[in-house]
Amino acid sequence: RIAGRYVRTWSFLLDLASLVPTDALYARLGPHTPTLRLNRFLRAPRLFEAFDRTETRTAHPNAFRIAKLMLYIFVVIHWNSCLYFALSRYLGFGRDVWVYPDPARPGFERLRRQYLYSFYFSTLILTTVGDTPMPAREEEYLFMVGDFLLAVMGFATIMGSMSSVIYNMNTADAAFYPDHALVKKYMKLQHVNRRLERRVIDWYQHLQINKKMTNEVAILQHLPERLRAEVAVSVHLSTLSRVQIFQNCEASLLEELVLKLQPQTYSPGEYVCRKGDIGREMYIIREGQLAVVADDGVTQYAVLGAGLYFGEISIINIKGNMSGNRRTANIKSLGYSDLFCLSKEDLREVLSEYPQAQTVMEEKGREILLKMNKLDVNAEAAEIALQEATESRLKGLDQQLDDLQTKFARLLAELESSALKIAYRIERLEWQTREWPMPEGVVEADDESEPGEGTSKAEEGPLGQEGPSGL
């Protein structure tokens, strides 16, 4: 089907015409007739299509753009040198200093020398370097003017292409790494001390030199959700699976959690958390080293390396946890450290759809607390009993609310039925009272109040009196 569709397009005709073996005519006309190969230019659209696809698929698009630009420059100089040699032949070799020297001179008869001389002369003209012989004929002046105009266009194209490449590189850097110029300006305006300003600048330099990214979510936001999950899984799943409480969990749960991981980079001497802080997230060490230090910030109790994690208990509400949600140690970065952060809100959002996994994780967290002797079993039992009592009271309140709703519905139904019966009775009484004769005093009062309509009232009187008798 693809072949049939291709045969019915103009591309097929152009490709077929470009493959006509016009080179065979060289055997009769000689090799100095380059116009025989002009049909090869019909393949130019294919060449541009190949360039576009390669630029899209290559891992280094900016380098490919520069290489493509250099190829264009080389081809233009090559074609211009061929035109120069053809014009020199037309005007006569060696007729003046501007054209190609006479091939009869020693060393100028070789094909390599002819091509290199023409290429060199064309390069001098198109780069506007100068040092070229003065033209002597009108054809030579026209050729020089055309080359100068072509050189101006070439310089404009080169400058535009290089500006585009540099802009794309800067845009890519801005997308991957945060802009430190604004932060530096802010610190200068707010008169931040030099030491803190130096730390901030060093942090930005570390990110850029080591190609560290802190905004992966923003970079991958345009990908479809499923494809974004696959990319995140291929990059971070091995790190998340090292955490003990996440082991043996469902693969779909881990994929959801991977999308919630936030990369963070800490500078040397910076505290990740302090003792007594409220724990709202857990951390997984990707690179670097962290130290568990005393309150003085100098004494080290332990050193945590890549692949380890901490703070996982604080993001799970485990009953009987003696430390609660408070941090129990001071964690300090020894050098530049790369961590993954998972917040309690993100974990709760994911676990709301996986209640069984939540139960398993709570059991694992309870086992960890038992090993650390930080689980109050009595408090846990009391909290469980309190929760069961609360749930029982809630069930009772739900039942009472259902009963009240049922009674209220019955009352509404009875009220509607009573209102309907009263409406029927009123309507019946109205029909009965219409048959009663009207008192004479009321009739006279009506006649006096509407004197203009007396005649019509008198005329209609017999008819009105015949109405009840007729009924």
Instruction: Supply the DSSP string of 148-181, one letter for each residue.
Output: HHHHHHHHHHHHHHHHHHHHHHHHHHHHHS--HH
Q: What average pLDDT does range 108-127 have in this prediction?
A: 90
pLDDT in the model for residue 454: 46
pLDDT in the model for residue 300: 87
pLDDT at 222 over 80: no
* Residue 416, amino acid: E
Give the whole-angstrom CA distance, residue 61 versus residue 172: 12
C-alpha gyration radius of the chain: 46
pLDDT in the model for residue 75: 92
pLDDT interval class at 383 (50, 70, 90): low
Pairing assessment for the beta strands 271-273 and 290-293 based on DSSP bridges: unpaired
More confident call, 386 vs 74: 74
Q: Which two tokens stand for residue 303?
A: 């050193």
Q: What average pLDDT does range 15-21 have in this prediction?
A: 89
| Each residue's pLDDT tens digit, 95-108 | 888 999 988 888 88
Share above pLDDT 90 across residues of the chain, in percent, rounded to a whole number: 10
pLDDT interval class at 74 (50, 70, 90): very high
pLDDT at 456 over 50: no
User: What is the DSSP secondary structure assignment for residue 438, as one 8-state letter?
Assistant: P
| Each residue's pLDDT tens digit, 279-314 | 888 888 888 889 988 888 888 888 888 878 787 777
DSSP lists the bridge partners of residue 264 as: 339
* Chain mean position to CA 251: 24
User: What is the DSSP secondary structure assignment for residue 177, as one 8-state letter?
Assistant: S
pLDDT in the model for residue 228: 80
User: What is the DSSP secondary structure assignment for residue 221, as one 8-state letter?
Assistant: T
* Chain mean position to CA 180: 22
Question: By the 8 A CB rule, do 245 and 312 touch?
Answer: yes
Pairing assessment for the beta strands 300-304 and 309-310 based on DSSP bridges: unpaired
Tracing tokens 């020089």 back to the chain, one arrives at: 144
